[in-house]
Amino acid sequence: KAGVTQTPRYLIKTRGQQVTLSCSPISGHRSVSWYQQTPGQGLQFLFEYFSETQRNKGNFPGRFSGRQFSNSRSEMNVSTLELGDSALYLCASSLEGGADIQYFGAGTRLSVL
């Protein structure tokens, strides 16, 4: 069974640009969650999508947004990039979300210059 796939693996952007990250969940999983991981803050929850609807949202500014498609694939968008957005962005999928076991992709490493 294929795991969670994230693309691209690495991205370099400059301040003010926008970026889109992609996540393909494990087949049959309907929930996709996104996390930001930085050395100082650790893993922080961004948002969760379930059946194409954003079900939960963490404490991040509106520049961070996402969507989920009918095949459960998800995208995350960050607009007007800031230096502080440099991080590893992780996607996790689970059957039902919430307190379910979440399986993570390898992440997208975003560097903002």
Question: Which positions lie near another protein, rule CB under 8 A?
Answer: 4, 6, 33, 35, 42-45, 48, 55-56, 58, 90, 92, 97-99, 101-107, 109
**Minimum distance of another protein from residue 90's CB (angstroms):** 5
Compare residues 9 and 15 and give the one whose CB is closer to another protein. Answer: 9
Compare residues 19 and 34 and give the one whose CB is closer to another protein. Answer: 34
Cis peptide before 8 (omega within 30 of 0): yes
Residue from 21, 49, 22 nearest 33 by CA: 49
Compare residues 78 and 91 and give the one whose CB is closer to another protein. Answer: 91
For residues 46 and 35, give the distance between their C-alpha atoms in angstroms, rounded to a whole number. 5
**Minimum distance of another protein from residue 106's CB (angstroms):** 5
Compare residues 17 and 104 and give the one whose CB is closer to another protein. Answer: 104
For residues 12 and 19, give the distance between their C-alpha atoms in angstroms, rounded to a whole number. 10
Q: Which amino acid is residue 105, in one-letter code?
A: G
**Minimum distance of another protein from residue 18's CB (angstroms):** 23
Q: Which helix (H) or strand (E) holds 12?
A: strand 10-13
